[in-house]
Structure 1
Amino acid sequence: MKLRSIRSQLLIWLISSVLITTLVVGFLTARLTWSGFNNVRDMGLEQIAQTVVRHDEAAPAQPPAPLPSTALADDDLDQFVSQIWDHSGQLVYSSLADVGPPLQRPGHNIVTWEGESWRVYTQAHDRRIVQVAVTTKIRRQHFYSLTPWLLIPLVLLVLVLAVLTSTGVDRVLLPLEQLRSDIARSDPEGLQPIDTSGLPAEVAPLADTLNQLLARIEHMLNHQRRFLADAAHELNTPLAVVKLQAQLVRRSRPGEWEGALDQLDAGIERASRLAFQLLQLARLEPEAQTAQQQTLRLDDLLREAVAGFSARAEQQGCDLGLVSAEPVSLVGDPHALRTLVDNLIGNALTHNPGPVRIDVGLHVDGGAAVLEISDNGTGIAPEDRARVLERFVRLSPGDGKGSGLGLSIVGEIAALHGGRVELADTPGGGLTVRVHLPLFTSRTEPLSP
């Protein structure tokens, strides 16, 4: 697709407007000038007629006096006629050998005589009628001779306006060129904001929007750098353990293979779980979250999640159940919310030694849905509850359980849906996790405690 130049479009519109305006003004000027020119020439005819009248009144027996030099141009004399008529309509005198135009009513008239158009002025006095006439052809010729003096200023005006318009457009678009240069010089590693000082009001919002985009990109890059660094560090340990266990299998006797293989399988499972949770965490970055939001039933999602963990809970001897689930609809990403629930139930099963009771509930409190998962296990000390929502925080690093990502993923999913996570004690001992999610809302500010 061919790109269109703003400068070219502005120049086309502005210069076209100047040309159209000039043509309209030129046309109106020509009409007004022609009207004024005719008025001046008509006044000349009146002066000639009055001169003839005065001469005829003073000396009726003599021919008319010579015409005043200012009344008519010399080139008009061969196409000019003066006549004297009596009141009976008889021609008394004509300056032409021929009769000339017929007698007209008093005042200015236009008459066609011998195939030519004549401008006639007729004036009566007590004794006779004086009529003077000139061809309209000579008038047009004289007017056309003045046309260059009308056109030259208009042409010069158009040229001057075109130059000024082009210069003005270049100066007006200079901030855009400066903005382009600033963006071209930007360091992709630093992504420094664009300087908006001195930008016009129409360009400043564009620069501000670009700065906001650069800030989001910088934020995303920082997340990616931190994620890659954390992932490389965290994956190193389980992979080293897997490698060590593989070496132990190689060195063990045939009777010891079963135990060594079990340890190797557990190590691979931990590494796989860590990689899966890292992938979940990467997908939950705000800039990478592209799943479409939709209205869903959170109570149905809870039932599916509890059913999915029932076999594992039974194998571990845990009592997992959905104790209450009010019908709740909200707007959210069903895959992310299922990940949230799975991580909460999975954490409760993973980090509690021995059989425990895990209750899952859902109710509405004000304008939010409250998802509650409680257990009667070991719980988390109050001073550690804020830390466990951070990435890669493990309260017992040496036990080999978990990756320190489960609750961090829960917190980020809740934040993406405008919610918050609350950790509290379970009456009688254990941990209760409450997730507050606003109803029919997505990607809003987090709910206040």
Structure 2
Amino acid sequence: MRSIRAQLLQWLLPGIVFVCVIASAGMYYSAKQAMDADLDAQLGRLAGSARLALRNQTTIDLGGARVPALRAFLAKEEFQQPGQYFELWSSAGKPERRSLNLGKADLPRPSELTRDGTRYDAQLENGERVRVIAMQYPQSTNNEPLDFAVALSRSEGESRLSRLLADLIIGGVVCCAMLCLLLILALRYALRPLERVGEQAAAMGANSLHERFATEAIPSEIAPIVTRLNDLMSRLEQGFERERRFSSDLAHELRTPLAAIRTTSEVAAKWPDQSSLDDFHDITKAATHLQQTVDSLLLLSRIDMASANVSLQSVVLRPLIEECVSLHTPRAQQRDLTFNLQLDAASDIETDPSLLRIIASNLIANATEYAPHGSEIVIIATNDHPILRIENLAPDLTPEDIPRLFDRLWRKDATRNDSSHSGLGLSIASSGAQALGCTLHAELLETGTLQISLFPEK
């Protein structure tokens, strides 16, 4: 698994090196161009001095003697040492005069010369690189123009460029190393809050779900992640709390019938002559309640795993609801309850009929068991939302009871001792709705009517 730090370094380090190389190259070529411009400026001044010497031809020294001006020009100290050169050609290209430091060597002569001059780079016979400007100097009308060239050595400039290049390379390497180090330290510092979140998450367990990730001093980029993690921890805490409550309720549900079975069996074993059929009937009743509870738990488990195997098909609601109502009609008659069915004959939906049948059956069973004697149960299934709605009076419920209505094994205290109820019916219906991607919503109206609605997925 590649870390964020590694990916950032993989992209940023080459980028830093590239920027340093480009900057160094830019500085080097800028310096080179500046040196070339300075060399050309020096050549221009030297060429101007040569033109002046050729124009004057002679000069007067302090003793009054007439001395050729060109000789005086070439007698300068700069033409005695390597670095500054001069050569004069005839119109036919034959060398006529050259500076002493050239010896017998010649400056490279271009094929064509102009009065404005031609600048070019050349190499002397001794390997020295020079910058040359060659031009024509027009004489009087009766004389042909003179061709000459002056040159300056590039050695000093190239030496400075070499030193500059070495300094840039060394400085660039040091700069890149420092930037890379700063980048690594900056990334380590910037990712430290994320590492702290990871360490805190790794240390969390079932007993520390109440803890939350600190949102102070968290970078804005990872603040949404921390917020979502805190939301997740809140949901996990609620889920674990429901599981603990479910385990406690389940232990209570199983302990009561088991204790009844054990007590009755021990009494029957100790005093067999005093045993009666009622004792065995009590044992059968307790065992039946245990079996109903276990069967409901198994059904609940199967529904929780059924979301991946939902088989959707077109289902007409009216016959399915009527079938579920017929299953609970005997119990409704025992309690003098009536059904008010408001079913649309043409109402059909795309759903899993098995799961929808389980949901409807458990909702109707809950209404049949807890509606007051002689009351009415309203069942609505139309093309309008919700898919299904069941209404019945619930005088024992309060608004505070509604959030726990779908909890597993939850029942009002007044009916907890009734062994005919497992407290899992609405939990099974809620799990079935989730498997279908739907939602069960319970509401206690001001009239004391409990309204449970099945809404499709948004």
**TM above 0.5:** yes
Q: Secondary structure at the match of 2:133?
A: strand
Is 1:363 paired with 2:406?
no
Q: CA 1:111 to 1:176, structure 2 compared with 1: closer, same or farther past 3 Å? A: closer
Residue 156 to residue 251, structure 1, CA distance change in 2 (3 Å): closer
Provide the residue aligned with 1:82 in structure 2.
Answer: 86
- Match runs of 1:124-273 below 5 Å: 124-127=136-139, 128-133=146-151, 140=158, 143-186=161-204, 188-191=206-209, 192-247=211-266, 250=269, 260-273=279-292
Q: Shift of the alpha carbon at 1:264?
A: 2.3
Give the TM-score normalised by structure 1: 0.74
Structure 1 residue 176: Cα displacement: 1.6
Q: Is the 8 A contact 2:364 2:390 kept in 1?
A: no
Quote the sequence identity (%).
21
CA distance in 2, matches of 1:15, 1:148: 22
Structure 1: stretches of 5+ with no match in the other structure: 375-379, 426-430, 443-449
What is the RMSD computed on CA atoms of the aligned residues? 4.6
| 1:109 paired residue number | 119
Once the two structures are overlaid, the 10-residue window that deviates more, 14-23 or 169-178, is 169-178
Q: Which amino acid aligns with 2:11?
A: W
Q: Is the 8 A contact 2:328 2:368 kept in 1?
A: no
- Per-residue deviation at 1:228? 1.0
Cα deviation digits, residues 264-320 of structure 1 (max 9, x gap)? 222211122233445667888xxx78725767634454245346568x769989999
Larger mean CA deviation between 155-164 and 191-200 belongs to 155-164
Change (3 A) 1:323 1:13: closer
Question: Against the structure 1 CA distance between its residues 343 and 4, is the aligned structure 2 distance closer, same or farther, given a 3 Å change threshold?
Answer: same
User: Which residue number in structure 2 is paired with residue 120 of structure 1?
Assistant: 132
CA change 1:314–1:164 in 2 (3 A) is: closer
Q: Cα distance, 1:189 vs. partner?
A: 1.0
SS in 2 for 1:193: coil
More off after superposition, 52-61 vs 322-331: 322-331
Contact map agreement 2:394 2:449 (CA 8 A) in 1: no
Q: Please tell me the residue identity of whatever aligns with 2:89.
A: W
Give CA-to-partner distance per residue, 1:382-431, whole Å, 9 cap, x none.
24576697522254566643245545765787797142256899xxxxx9
Match of 1:221, as an amino acid? F
AA at the equivalent of 2:185: T
Q: Distance in 2 between matches of 1:250 and 1:221?
A: 42
1-structure distance, mates of 2:80, 2:276? 130
Gaps in structure 2 of 5+ consecutive residues: 59-67, 140-145
The alpha-carbon deviation at position 240 of structure 1 amounts to 1.3
Cα distance, 1:394–1:221 mapped onto 2, change above 3 Å: same
Deviation at 1:201?
0.2
1:428 aligns with: none
Give SS of 1:194's match.
Answer: coil
Q: What is the CA–CA distance in structure 2 between the aligned matches of 1:50 and 1:72, rounded to whole Å?
A: 16
Equivalence for 2:362: 343
1:310-357 Cα distance to aligned partner (Å, 9 max, x none):
8x7699899998955324455777666433332344456667999x99
CA gap 1:23/1:251 in 2 versus in 1, 3 angstroms: same
User: Contact 1:56 / 1:64 at 8 angstroms: preserved in 2?
Assistant: no
What's the TM-score, normalizing by structure 2? 0.72
The amino acid across from 2:169 in the alignment is L
Q: 2:457 aligns with which of 431, 441, 444?
A: 441
Corresponding position of 2:71: 63
Match of 2:32?
34
1:330–1:441 contact (8 Å) kept in structure 2: no
Change (3 A) 1:385 1:15: closer
Give the counterpart letter for 1:169 in structure 2.
Answer: L
Which residue type is aligned with residue 441 of structure 2? G
- Counterpart pick for 1:417 among 418, 436, 439: 439
Letter in 2 for 1:195: A
The correspondence for 1:382, drawn from 395, 402, 408, is 395
Over 3 Å counting, the alpha-carbon distance change for 1:24 and 1:44 in structure 2 is same
Residues 233/111 of structure 1: CA separation in 2 closer, same or farther (3 Å cut): closer
Instruction: Give 1:94 shift.
Output: 2.0
Query: AA paired with 2:50?
Result: V
Which digits, 9 at most, give the CA deviation of each residue in 1:12-49, with x for residues without a partner? 32221110111222223333322222222222222332
Deviations 1:112-138 (A, max 9, x none): 688888642024444334312357788
